[in-house]
Structure formats: C-alpha cells, structure tokens
Structure 1
C-alpha cells in the first residue's frame, strides 16, 4: 500500500536523510513515480540467496568440460555494510585467469527504489597493494598481470569513493555501517593454466544467465571503440557507455562520441597536450545532440544525480561541467552533491526542459567568466586548463539517456593553431 505524504516524510526522517525542503520534495516526487502503474523495477525477490545462488551454478560447475578446467572455486556472500576490503583466501599467481559472477544489489534508498548493481558496486584487487579494478558487467574474466600476484580481495565501493588506486576510501567510513544496505553474492573461478576461457564458456550449455552475460561481455567491450586519446576515469571504472559514431546530418561535420548510460555511469577524459592558459576571454565551444535526459527530477541531490554533460578540468583539480537539466533553471549552479565531489565539481545548467531534445545544438561559454561567477577565488584561480570530460550517468533512476558530442574547442589561452585547441 502506498504511503501518504505524511507517512513518507516520517519514513524519510527515520532513515536519517537530509531534511532540506528541496531534497524532501524531490524525494517525494521520486516516491510518487515508483507508485505509478507504468513504473517498472527489478524486484529484490529476483536476487537469489546464498544457497540459491550456489545451486544456480551447479549444472555449470559440474559440466565435464568446465569441471576439468577449474583449479578452484569459491562462493562469497558480501553484505553491503562491510568496509573494504574482504579477503577471499584465494592466492593468485601472475598469469592465472580468473572469472567472477555476481548477483545482488546495494541500496541507496529502499523507499525510493534506488540501488546499484554489482557492475557498479563490486571491485577487485590482487594483493594488498594491487590496483583496484571493476568490470563492465556483473561478470568478469581477468588475467593476473606479470609481476603481480597475491590474495584476491573484494570490495563494495558504494556509497563511498576511492581516494587512490590501491583502494583507500575517501571520507567517513561510518557511512558503511550507517547506510550500507543489501548484499552481493559472488562466485570466483580460478582456471587451470592454458584454458581458453572465452571458448569454453561459449561452448557449454551452462544454464546460467550470468555465464551468458560473461560470454557476451567481451563483444560489448570491443564494440565501444572511441578515439584512443580518450580514456575512462579510473575510480568510476570501465563501462561500455561510449563509442565513436560517424558524423550525422545537422550542424555536425566532425567525428562524434556517443554516450548512452544503461543503468550505469562513466566518465571519459582527454588530457590536453597543449594546456591553454586560463585567462580572461577563454571560451569553450561544442556541438551536442541530447536525445533523452536520464533524470525526471532536479539533479542536485544524491539520489537524483543522473545527467549528461561536457566538463573542463583545471590544474587545481576542479572542473566546471555544463549540463542540461530536466527542471533546474538555466544559469542555476551547484556543487556536486555526491560525497568527496562537493568541492571538486561545479555544475552549471545551460539548458532546461525538453525543448531542443533530439536536435544538434551549438554551445559557447566564456569559461573564465563562469569560473569567476560560480566558483570565485576560493582556493585560488587556476593557471591552466588540463582536461576535458564527457560525463554520462544513469545509475540512480535507471532511466534512458543519450548524448552525442562533437566539435569541442577551446579558444584563447595563447595555445593551439590560431589560439584554438581542437579537442574533438
């Protein structure tokens, strides 16, 4: 039975959530959406318990070809409120191949039906000082790098963020005990030397959707090619959200990068070899076509922060990201609401509503003037522009979003051909 508005407010209060009026009102709108007859979700009843999860792999693990190729296996249940990192007891050697299969979810808010899947939450590390990594799916197969090795560790990143590549977490670790809700079920398979894992998985009737997911994962990753000078922001990990596409009709005549968040998040970045001087009159330009916005709420809360944007990073580590909002007004600005990003990324709304969706549009901003207006001198004014980002997030509300970008340029700053840096 649906909650009344008063009942919802009490539930929100008991959960220890923010009591700021705009946040409560946005949460109430989200809750109302979940009660509409057309609303669809993936119910938690679909997540198998530990015993069912194991039984789902029984046929796969007992298949003669699979059983004869396995060195060892381990099933792990990982509650969401456990701090990173969980040791698996599996000591891996360089060159060993490992496959992982995961189910479950980590909740942001049950009353708002907001959760993240293993693809976003589950991370890995080989050895105490190994670099963290994730997968583009709820499954993965990886080879332990030469010169590395050690025990395999698992972690739930969400709701915190990585501070460094060894897996140190930023911020107050009490956030896990306070807000960690949900669990992940994980199967780890260590293969014998010489096994062609991809061919093996593709050749067996596994009777498991997760095995089929792992069969399809490499193909999806290979299909998402984009210019080689662009790369994923490491602590959000890999995804298959971005790809290069051919120039289309309209104002665009240059190569394009296409972004389509599918219940996930990814940031694509490019370092500027010739870093423009950040001075008065520096302008940024780009063309974009946004076919769908991944939010139906104002995006300045931690549970509705789904958006598409083009961002410019400075040498002080801050960036301004230009967004198209569902309901926030043009020229509205705000610091990112997510933990550890609140003093790093500033959002500036340059379009609002649905007018213009599906059309190629040209944007031009005075970057220096925007920095002065929205960020100001706090922490000092940077001297250089160092990177450009494309941001695509649909992990929270799980709605469709789609963006194509081209023609990114930075003019002024005393560098580039004729004072223009062509980014894309």
Structure 2
C-alpha cells in the first residue's frame, strides 16, 4: 500500500485526473446511480475548492500588493487589455457563427425558470458597484470576488507601509493558505471521479438531441475562440508559437474547469499552474482572481448565440449594426455574470431586450439554456478559466520581448 501511494504521488496531477475520469465513467456504466458515496466525493471536492478559494485570493492579493517593490512591473494593464479584447472578440465571433449557422429554439409554454434576471445594463453595472463596496466579511463568505478583490487591494495598499515584522506575518499567512490549497488540489482526481460519475449516471442525453445544432454552434464557436482567436492574440503580441501555452492551460486548467463548472472554484488550480510556469507572483496573484470575475469570453459566446437563436425563432431580422451592439452588450454583461454554474444564462433576457423580445419568452430561452447546460456551461467555464492563464502568461512574454 505504501509503495502504491508513493507511485500515485509521483504521477503528474493530469495523469491522476485522467485515471479518476476513467474510473468514474466505468463505475457509472457498471452501477448506474447506485453509488451515492462517489457522488459525494465530487460534491465535497467542489465545495472545498469554493470554500478555500475566497480566502486564498484575499490573502494572496494583499500579500502581492504589500510586498510589491516600487519600479517592479506587474503587466496588469496589458492583461486587462487582453481580457477586454478576448471577451469582445468572442462575442463578435459568436455573431459571425450565428449568421453563418442560424439556430432556432423549441420554446414551450410553462417552461420558464424561477430565476431573477437583470432588468437592464444599468442594473448590471449597479450590481457590480454594489459588489465592490460589499462588506468584506460578507464578500468572503458569499464568494463575491469583485468585493474580495476591491478590499484586498485597499488593505494591500495600506499594508505597504507596515513594518517588516507585520509583512512577515502576512507572507506566512499566504504560505499557510497556499499549502492548504495544494492539499485540496491533490484530491482533484477523486473529486473529478465523483463529478464525472454523477454526470454520466444521471444526465439524460436524450434531452439534448433536439438542441443538437445549437449545441454544435455553441461548442464550435468556443473551440474557435480557444484554438484560433486566443492563439492569434498571443502570437501577434508575443511573436511566439502560442500552442504550447494553449495546450498546457487546457490540459491543467481547462479540464478541471470543465468538470467543476465554476471559474471561482478553479482559481486555486490556475494559481498553481501559474507558479509551475514560473510567472510573476505579483501579477498572477491579482490577474487570476480578476480574470475569474471579468474575463468571460465563454459567457459572451453563450449570451450572444442564444439571444440570436431566440431572434431567429421569432423571425426577427437582425442587421449588422444591431449585431455589433449585441456583441458589446454581451461582453459587458458577461463581465457581470455570476461565478457559479449557469450564471451567464440569467443575462440572456438583457440581451434579448435589444430585439424587443418580452421577458416571459426570454426566460424560456433561459430554460432552454439550462437543458443544454450540462455541455454548454462546462465548455464555457473551460474557455473562461484557461484563458486567464493564457493572457497572464502572454502579458509576461510580451514584456520579455520588449525588454530584449
């Protein structure tokens, strides 16, 4: 047993996750949904990640700001620019895919979800501002990453003037929380085994068939963003082959994000990958949690394609200028999407309002989104989360090129 444990620990995390995936699928095929304790493994893993991530982000950002030396560049302006370009570009790609491959929905009476969607773009912005000034304790307990970032930045700036002894305490706290996160991440193979077991054993594939074309368009557009648009951005700005970075971020960040379906839960995974890539900790300690909140290319694709599918279903003609406005609104709205599974779907009524689609019909579109969510939301989260790594690394590579 000791020898087996040693060999298991010597394997890379990716290989261990693949083993967990295979075992989860085999158990689901063999036993169906009878093994509830395996489902519990997935639930506990995601809950542990979601529980520790806010505190890790809070202490890492404070540490990064407090320990930052004057004159030391962090590339944050470049990264924020990448996030904005990536999200708007994804929304524009979604418009093009929707025009090339128009999709429709099967809207039915009584299919609305009992959820509350924002009433307009001003409400989205107001919610963001309210989240920024949220009580810091409330922000930590509720996983409000905008509020966590805002307060961590303020406290970090204040801590810059602290004495060396206090800064040593802050650094020690950061090291302790980081070690706890590493322990949680080491449990990923068992957690993902539980997640994939539950998905295979309980999700009905038949319910996805009538939305086949829509799913194909959604997934194809996200693949285009991941394998064409983002690499192009990286290549143009860094003059490097982007695909080694793309593939390692997909393998080590995209896989876990796909199954946890939460950018917030994937923050510790991304921070660990940044460390392994040797990136600047002062930068990624801020850029990764910020990306989980506002770098939402996958969400922009979902909002745009489902809104245009609703317009096609209702025979509403959408011209190019309106489509451009939709892409911009979708990008801004996506930045306000919740960090939980399915958060982007609640912003579809806002985008649909551009076409004069009433809220009761728009909420049926949201309901259709939940039906295909088992695939759509997983792909969306993988796109969102892995690109945080891609753009953080690209900004550093770009700076290295300029310094040569």
TM-score normalised to structure 2 length: 0.23
The structure with more helix, counted as a fraction of residues: 2
The structure with more strand, counted as a fraction of residues: 1
Q: Relative contact order: is structure 1 or structure 2 higher (C-alpha 8 Å, sep ≥ 6)?
A: 2
TM-score normalised to structure 1 length: 0.22
* Higher Cα radius of gyration: 1
